[in-house]
């Protein structure tokens, strides 16, 4: 299992967690597809199926974003947008919002 | 070489065809009195298509409380329009052959299309616009690239290599080397496949949503496409965010707080949908 995934006991599974692999029952039937998002109903159903643990994508919040890497990548993505060009304000806003999103900054409501 | 619009349109019949039932769904697009049970039975004869459609219908993006296990049930729970759009999405992602044009990364193409579709759907909800129409338009907005890559694989390979070398605007490079671009090709296919008028407009105008008559759907697709590029979801090292129309951006009128929610929701739906559609 890679660093992006972890095995979580069903008792500790939370709604919103994303399955990182497909989940099979003892007979090899697919219970849940890879990428499925857990809900309370799904977690209850897993408990009824006596599933003990589920592979889920490791929450990104556990790792602080690498600011230098994020900014370098955004510079590359927005390389055709001139930050000095006021007529491209929509492109600049998009870049700023994505930057705030990637760096998990708090924004005013 | 120069491809004229006439040549392109003549060649459309040589393109891979969609499953018959999907063509039927397309041609019945405005028909109200369609017999749903007959249609559900026809779709059900294509097992792969049925499985993909049901997995999509049951994904969290559609929030069904009860799992749909047949196409008929999906139509009852989601409605005919939504289900039809899901069938189209499931059929379309599998219908073009891949691998004939080495420079064309079809996985990256579909990842970007799915990201655009997911974002368009989220934006449509905020704008109280039809979410299914927005999803389908987002998914199909780049279909002209598939037309060019399928019809002219060698020439399109040269276009992609030249565009990479220039780090240029794809549409401009297409026009220089082919005399035609993917917007024109997409609009021609949308007409040939008898997409609805709104859908045709969105495909033809998503690069220029400020044009008179472009329609609001073109605005949604335009901005969703820019967001999909900016969120870097295609997985392309040379990813480039296209120009963002300030007219389209203003028309949506969303605050930064809302945008950040849109980004998050787009990423979540994208992960789930790519797992289903590109399996």
Q: Are residues A50 and A87 in the same domain?
A: no
Q: Determine the Cα–Cα distance for residues B254 and B32; give it in Å rounded to an integer.
A: 35
pLDDT of residue B11: 78
Domain boundaries, chain B: 17-95, 101-279
Q: Are residues A44 and A10 in the same domain?
A: yes
- Interface with chain B: mutation pick from A91, A99, A106, highest number of B CBs within 10 Å: A91
Task: Give the count of beta carbons closer than 10 Å to the beta carbon of residue B106.
Answer: 18
Contacting A with CB below 8 Å, chain B residues are 55, 59-60, 167, 226-227, 229-232, 239-246, 248-250, 255-257, 259-260, 263-264, 268, 271-272, 274-276
Residue B137, pLDDT > 80, answer yes
- Cross-strand bridge partners of residue A53: A9
Residue B76 contacts residue A52 (beta carbons within 8 Å)? no
ipTM of this complex > 0.95?
no
Cα–chain center distance at B135: 7
pTM attached to this predicted model: 0.81
Out of A73, A79, A101, the one facing B263 most closely (by C-beta) is: A101
Tell whether A91 lies on the interface with B, counting CB pairs under 8 A.
Answer: yes
Q: Are residues A52 and A98 in the same domain?
A: no
A107 falls within a domain: no
What's the domain count of chain A? 2
Residue B124, pLDDT > 90, answer yes
List average pLDDT for each run of 10 residues in chain A, which is 109 residues long.
Answer: 74 84 79 83 84 79 81 96 87 96 87
pLDDT tens for each residue of B260-275: 999 999 999 999 889 8
A86 falls within a domain: yes
Q: Are residues A29 and A56 in the same domain?
A: yes
Chain B CB contacts of A35 under 8 Å are: 271-272, 274-276
pLDDT of residue A1: 43
A108 falls within a domain: no
Residue B162, pLDDT > 90, answer yes
Rounded (10°) angle between helices B131-140 and B106-127: 160
Out of B55, B229, B264, the one facing A33 most closely (by C-beta) is: B55
A14 falls within a domain: yes
Please provide the DSSP assignment of chain B as one string.
----HHHHHHHGGGSPPPPHHHHHHHHTTT-SS--HHHHHHHHHT-HHHHHHHHHHHTSGGG--SS---SHHHHHHHH-HHHHHHHHHHHHHTTTS--SSSTT--HHHHHHHHHHHHHHHHHHHHHHT--HHHHHHHHHHTTHHHHHHHHH-HHHHHHHHHHHHHHT--HHHHHHHHHS--HHHHHHHHHHHTT--HHHHHHHHHTT-TTSTT--HHHHHHHHHHHHHHHTT-S--TT--PPP--HHHHHHH---HHHHHHHHHHHHHHHHHHHHHHT-
Nearest CA in chain A to B252: A90
Task: Give the count of beta carbons closer than 10 Å to the beta carbon of residue B161.
Answer: 13
pLDDT of residue B87: 87
A91 falls within a domain: yes
pLDDT of residue A16: 82
Class in CATH terms, B101-279: mainly alpha
How far, in Å, are A4, B235, B272 from residue B111 at the CA level?
Answer: 20, 8, 11
Q: Provide the residue range defining the domain that includes A12.
A: 5-60
A109 falls within a domain: no
Q: Are residues A17 and A46 in the same domain?
A: yes
Q: Are residues A11 and A50 in the same domain?
A: yes
Written as six digits, the tokens of A58 are: 């490791």
Cross-chain residue pair B256–A78, CB shorter than 8 Å: no
Q: Are residues A40 and A77 in the same domain?
A: no
Chain A CB contacts of B259 under 8 Å are: 97, 101
Nearest CA in chain B to A106: B257
CATH number of the domain to which A31 belongs: 3.90.105.10
pLDDT of residue B186: 93
Backbone angles phi, psi at A55, to 5 degrees: -80, 120
Q: Determine the Cα–Cα distance for residues B270 and B99; give it in Å rounded to an integer.
A: 24
Q: Determine the Cα–Cα distance for residues B238 and B164; give it in Å rounded to an integer.
A: 8
pLDDT tens for each residue of B16-72: 666 777 777 766 655 666 677 777 888 888 888 898 899 989 988 787 888 899 988
The minimum CA-CA distance between B227 and chain A, rounded to whole Å, is 8
pLDDT of residue B30: 55
Nearest CA in chain A to B66: A41
Q: Are residues A82 and A39 in the same domain?
A: no
A49 falls within a domain: yes
Q: Are residues A92 and A54 in the same domain?
A: no
Kindly state the average pLDDT of the residues B86-103. Answer: 82
Q: Are residues A14 and A52 in the same domain?
A: yes
Out of B249, B255, B263, the one facing A98 most closely (by C-beta) is: B263
A22 falls within a domain: yes
The set of long-range contacts for B251-255, using a CB threshold of 8 Å and a minimum separation of 24, is B251/B209, B251/B216, B251/B219, B252/B123, B252/B126, B252/B127, B252/B219, B252/B220, B252/B223, B254/B126, B255/A109
Among B164, B26, B31, B183, smallest CA distance to B105 is for: B164
Among B90, B18, B81, smallest CA distance to B49 is for: B90
């Amino acid at each position: 299992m890679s660093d992006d995934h972890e095995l979580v006991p069903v008792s500790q599974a939370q709604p919103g967690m994303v399955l990182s692999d497909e989940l099979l029952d003892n007979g090899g039937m697919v219970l849940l597809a890879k990428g499925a998002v857990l809900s309370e109903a799904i977690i209850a159903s897993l408990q009824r199926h006596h599933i003990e643990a589920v592979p889920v994508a490791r929450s990104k919040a556990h790792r602080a974003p690498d600011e230098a890497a994020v900014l370098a990548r955004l510079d590359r993505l927005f390389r055709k947008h001139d930050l000095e060009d006021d007529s491209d304000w929509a492109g600049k806003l998009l870049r700023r919002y994505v930057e705030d999103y990637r760096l998990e900054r708090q924004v005013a409501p | 070489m120069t491809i004229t619009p006439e040549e392109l349109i003549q060649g459309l019949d040589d393109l891979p065809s969609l499953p018959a039932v999907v063509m039927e769904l397309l041609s019945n697009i405005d028909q109200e009195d369609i017999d749903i049970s007959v249609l559900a039975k026809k779709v059900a004869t294509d097992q792969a298509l049925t499985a993909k459609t049901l997995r999509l219908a049951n994904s969290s993006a559609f929030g069904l409380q009860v799992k749909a296990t047949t196409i008929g049930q999906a139509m009852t729970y989601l409605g005919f329009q939504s289900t039809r759009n899901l069938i189209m999405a499931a059929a379309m992602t599998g219908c073009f052959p891949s691998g004939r044009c080495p420079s064309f990364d079809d996985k990256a193409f579909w990842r970007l299309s799915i990201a655009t579709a997911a974002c368009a759907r989220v934006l449509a909800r905020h704008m109280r616009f039809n979410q299914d129409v927005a999803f389908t338009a987002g998914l199909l907005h780049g279909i002209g690239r598939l037309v060019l890559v399928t019809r002219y694989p060698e020439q399109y390979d040269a276009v992609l290599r030249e565009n990479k070398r220039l780090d240029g605007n794809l549409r401009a490079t297409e026009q220089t080397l082919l005399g035609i671009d993917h917007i024109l090709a997409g609009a021609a296919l949308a007409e040939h496949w008898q997409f609805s008028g709104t859908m045709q407009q969105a495909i033809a105008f998503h690069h220029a949503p400020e044009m008179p008559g472009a329609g609001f759907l073109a605005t949604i697709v335009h901005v969703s496409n820019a967001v999909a590029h900016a969120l870097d979801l295609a997985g392309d090292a040379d990813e480039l965010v296209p120009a963002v129309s300030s007219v389209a951006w203003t028309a949506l009128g969303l605050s930064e707080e809302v945008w950040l929610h849109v980004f998050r929701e787009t990423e979540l739906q994208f992960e789930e949908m790519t797992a289903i559609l590109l399996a």
